[in-house]
Structure 1
């Protein structure tokens, strides 16, 4: 069934990408790829008919929110680093970096368990 094949493929991809992005906060683009893959898998799972959303779907929503927040911080950090430095800019930059680090820690904590791996098992 095509639906199952797509779910397995995306789940397998996320499962293989997670260790890299959980171990290295500097993997900005890789984090963005995981976010996109989570988004795709979430949308595919939402096409399924469930009386109650499965745990992987709930988890994917949470991960997607956290990864989106991290991405927003990464974009702002890049922007601030490109500006002429001033005390205000440095303060804003430090605030963004601290907020980004907090969001990243939350993602690492919530991604310890990977409920999508059960879909990847048959990939």
Structure 2
């Protein structure tokens, strides 16, 4: 259970970073059942290529600052769908058109949603 708790903490950091850069429609899915090497997918929407790139850069910077190692990054040059692989957490930052087109929520609809706790929601309790 400790490993999943670490993933949830990574999720909190990533969600705070994404929201701080204008990320919208944040959804986290527990994909640990079908994908044993990954715990959580975080899906985020940006409203332009520049916004997608800014969100991805901020998420990456904040997770690295917190001591997490990035395994892989894809799509940064086009900034239409940026994938950030941090091992237990994979962050997908989409332009709104790509998010609808690829429909990851639909593909992973059988996976449970993970509640996203950001610094704001924790402070508001």
* TM-score (norm. length: structure 2): 0.33
* TM-score (norm. length: structure 1): 0.34
